[in-house]
Structure formats: structure tokens, C-alpha cells
Chain A
């Protein structure tokens, strides 16, 4: 569906590029914005990403006590999700952040150390499509604003399924389709007119933000993405819209 004919190309924003080049282009975007990534999220979401990440962890509900629980946070470079998770869970709850961007991980490592959570959060540089973790290693898998940057989403979902334990849970927070009239028009204006300009002011370049906005529009909508998650083998797949569908959290279980 979102697959171009022949499958030799992949969408990079609204542009088609050779599939093998896409990840490199995406990585360039993130290496160029890593230091300002949190600011960028604030600009793009009007600060709402903080609440949404809070919603993600609240829905995941990690154990509060000593019970061992291990989370894999993919594309979690700057540590935003993992740090929130660690603060809202007990000492038995640990996390591994896996990101393909060394620049993002560097920011994340600094934040994890500053938060005093280095004993509970580990960082690994790796690709969501070829995870460097053994089968059935994790109790939960989260990916927040990451999956639309993956070239082969099916492969990433299959890897998520593989590394989760039986009874483990997949959760994805991603920009989605606005399902409230009028809000959708405001959102369009914000996306295509405001964000690239803000990006230029904040980071000196509009292109990375242009890519981010366009990649959001290319990403499958709520129901279509839920189907992809089911196709990867997950059960009890549900989703919740956040802020009228500007973002959505999808959840699925490996049973």
C-alpha cells in the first residue's frame, strides 16, 4: 500500500529515493538535529509530546516494586521515554535504549547520567530492522516517534515480536491522522507552514523539519497500522488517539 511499485524505492518525505539510501538520509536528519531534538519536538507538538510520552508510560504501567521488568525502547536515542519510564517504575525495572543514530545516543547517554539512572538504563547502537538482542529478551517494547523513520516497517515489527517474551507487550507512539474536523486544517497549516519556519529559526535549517512533517503524512493511518501490527503476530491490538488523533498509541501483545 505505502510500498511503491517494484519496491526498489522508498519514500523520504514526499520524495522517492532508492531504498538502500533512505536510512542514510534519515540518519543525516537526526545527526543534524540531535542536540536540538527535544526543542524540535516541543515546536512540532506545541509541547504536547511530553504529555503523550507520559500517556505512553501510564498505559504501559511498569511495575512499581522490585519485580524485574525489562523494556526495550527502540529509536529512543535522547532517552526521553526510558527516563520517564525509569522514574515511574520500581528498581526492578530496567531499560535498554536502542537507536541507530550515534548523535542521538550521545545526547541520551548524557541525559541518563544526569538523571542518575545509568545503573537502570543501558544504551545500544542498533537498527530496528535487525535488532542485536536474543529472542524473548524483553517484557515490553516501545517506539516513540521512531517507526515512521524505519524503511521496512514490517521487518521492524517482526523483530519486535521476536525479542519480546511471551506475554510481552508492543507499544508505539506516533503521529497519526487527525480525526477531528477543523483541527485537521489547523494541523495542516501548522505542519506545512509553521513547523519548517520554526525549524529554520531554531536550528538554522528547514529541510530536516520538512522531512519530518512529510514523513508523518506518509505514515499509515491508525487502522492500517493496527493491521500491520496484527500481521506481525501481535494479538489484542488496540490504539488510543491523543489530541484528536494528532498522535496515537498502538498496543499489541505477544501471546
Chain B
């Protein structure tokens, strides 16, 4: 199990299940009954399928009023720092990354993530993520009990975002499994992979740890064009880490850099010059 993707001919059919009132119940159980005809062989894992640790969140507990429990957990506006949900993200990300035999072209193929999310990691996604809107959390299994169309739509959107991806960085981040792989791929040992990046740590996952601890940094840097340029992305990460910037401060700095690159080609400069520019922007902020 594990070395498959969804075949082109059947992807559409799989995609339609969550849109149908009858078929959506396929998502209610602990396993998704994935039709074997839908699968196409592909070389994905190096060896055995890795086990991803599930966070200790009671969101999908089979007893009790789940939405009340979750409301209790989520008074904060800041979902991404909820440690109970993210506690194993870094560990899982490294485990998954090291077990997979993928390149970037394969890793932005929607058929790969659709298979992994409906196959081996179906249960993981259901525990790690859950339907929610405006701080209200809903239970997937209660789909038929909700009378409001808006809630049903929230659940369908949840299934589409968490179990499928499109081809853009945003949907790859929303997908709980793709997110783990990409977070490591984009940030491990940059000093060995690109010219002009200074080695600031002996830990090959130094930066991966940082962005998996605060997904807002990941989102703010890697979903923007500047995040595609390693020289800029890692100089930014260094500036954020060294100056211990909080969310407001790092967002402000990233905005300024983003605006500055319309005039200056940071990537043609040395790391030292890029850091100088960023430090100047940081001073301006203060």
C-alpha cells in the first residue's frame, strides 16, 4: 500500500463524492473505501509507509458535544499556534519527507495528494483538521443532521480543501499532508542546495522547525513570490529568527521586502547585502 496515485480517468469521480448528498457519507468512517480501479501505480515511498502521529485533540471524539469542546479550545484568534493541533507537525513532516522518493514536479501533482489523503493518511487528516467557519466547528459525521445549507457548504469546502489540492502553493499548504512535505522540501539544508546561503546551523531542519512552529511565517513568505527565491527567503527567515520578531513585526518586514523587490533585484546581490537591506527596513519599522 502506498505506491499509487489516483488515475486521471477516475480523479473526477473521486472528486464528485463530497459534492453528492448520497456519497459524502463515504468520508464519515475511519477509512475511506477507495475503489482499486481508481489507482495508478507510482514510485512514491522509499520503503515502508510511514506512520504519522495524530495530535491529541478531542475534536473527533465519538462522544460528547464536540463543537462545545472545540469552542472551549479556540478562544484565540490565532488558530495556527494551537499547540495541541500542531504538536507533532515537525516530527511528522520529517518522517514523511524522509520516507518519500519525490521531486517537486511530482509533489505538485494533485493526483498524488488526493490518493494519500483518501488512502493511507485519511484518518490522520480527519484528526488533524476539522470543518470550521467563523470559530464554529462542525462535525463531519453529523452532516445529515445539520439543516442549514451554509453548514453543509462549510463541510463540503473542508473536504475539498483538506483532501484535495489544486496546483497553487495555497492549496498545497491547506492540505495537511502536502503541507508537511513541502514545508521540509522548501527549507532543509538550503546552504547545500543553493548558492549564496550562509550556513547558520548544524541542524539540517533548522528552518523547517521554524516555519512548522509558526505557520504564519510559512504562509507570509512561501506563498509570496519572494518565497520562491531562496536567497531572499532564508535571509528573511534569519532576520526573523535573530531578531525574535513577533507576528506583527515579521508581517510588516515581509510587506516592506515584498514592495522593495519591485525596484531591486535582491537575488543578484550577496547574502550580506540582502541582510543589510533587510536590517535597514527593520530599522525603518522601529
B and A form one assembly: no
Chain B residues proximal to chain A, CB less than 8 Å: none
Chain A residues proximal to chain B, CB less than 8 Å: none
